[in-house]
Amino acid sequence: MNAVKATCLSLTLAGTVLCTGAAQAVDVASSPTLSKIKSSGTIAIGHRTSSIPFSYYDSNQKVIGFSQDICDRVVDEVKRQTGTPNLQVHMVPVTSQNRISLVQNGTVDLECGVTTNLKSRQQQVAFSTTFFVAGTRLLVKKGSPVHDFPDLSGKSVVTNAGTTSERILRRLNDEKKANITIQSAKDYGESFLILQSGRVAAFMMDDVLLSGARTLAPNPSEWVVVGTPQSFEAYAFMMRKDDPGFKQVVDGAMTGLMKSGEINKLYAKWFAAPVPPKQINFELPMSEPLKKAYANPNDEAFE
């Protein structure tokens, strides 16, 4: 990863951050993505629709969340590097199933959601600096006999299609011969609806996303996250491969947030304070793996 030097001034009244030198100057002409963005005057951002508190719609159908706040800083840096202060941002909803293909085919320039950086996926797309670390666990109704993964034997479980959780669950089912019936849903909202309907005993996904999904319930306190993490996931933004100039701009903006300490304020905003839609506080302290990731920014996959 390229060395990055950042000097950030927090503007309290405006609620924004200006970073000078957040990334070294990039030759826009040598970057296919930056050239495309500059010539079109538009950047296409992939987002999720219900991944609370990372990327989701508010009551006005505006995309908000931790991922989106970081993404906004990246867009600001793209504007600076390309000299396009009036750059238009085209928001494109993506799912677990289509996010990679939409990046590959150019529909999306930068996917700012909740995608795990995997070595296998690096054959298809490039990943930014890690911005979050999560563990895969289970969401169940309070009082459920399911407390950990061995309790899933002979039961039905839902997860999101095309995710690492789905792959891990299928592998666990095969290795343990657990006779688990696995349902795959298109997104977090659908998976949680299936769980609430009683058709499955548990919803497997990254713990922080499960905590976000439960905020959608009429009574969030009826649902709890349980189980020993089956993996740790390094979240990163996706972009097309073989464009080091664009990756340098993205990584530079993100690393600038981490080195300046501004990332801690954004984390507190989304994980230590009430968040829409129900103003529920996740009360999720920053984990040690995430603290390490912010102290030493990198784009390494965990597997």
**Given 232, 251, 281, which residue is the final one in a domain?**
232
Q: Is residue 149 part of a domain?
A: yes
Tell how far CA 177 is from the center of its chain: 32
> Do 207 and 108 share a structural domain?
no
Closest CA to 223 of 203, 238, 248, 245: 203
> Do 243 and 94 share a structural domain?
yes
Q: Is residue 72 part of a domain?
A: yes
> Do 248 and 107 share a structural domain?
yes
CATH number at residue 64: 3.40.190.10
Task: Name the DSSP letter for residue 148.
Answer: S
Range of the domain at 259: 7-133+235-295
Q: Is residue 140 part of a domain?
A: yes
> Do 139 and 128 share a structural domain?
no
> Do 220 and 82 share a structural domain?
no
Identify the helix (H) or strand (E) that includes residue 232: strand 232-239
> Do 219 and 123 share a structural domain?
no
Spell out the per-residue pLDDT of the chain, length 303, in tens: 443 433 343 333 333 333 434 457 899 999 999 999 999 999 999 999 999 999 999 999 999 999 999 999 999 999 999 999 999 999 999 999 999 999 999 999 999 999 999 999 999 999 999 999 999 999 999 999 999 999 999 999 999 999 989 999 999 999 999 999 999 999 888 999 999 999 999 999 999 989 988 888 999 999 999 999 999 899 999 999 999 999 999 999 999 999 999 999 999 999 999 999 989 898 888 988 999 999 999 999 987
Whether residue 260 contacts residue 6, with contact meaning beta carbons closer than 8 Å, is answered with: yes
Count CB neighbours of 222 within 10 A: 12
Q: Is residue 301 part of a domain?
A: no
Considering its fold, how many domains does the chain have in total? 2
**Given 186, 205, 232, which residue is the final one in a domain?**
232
Q: Is residue 1 part of a domain?
A: no
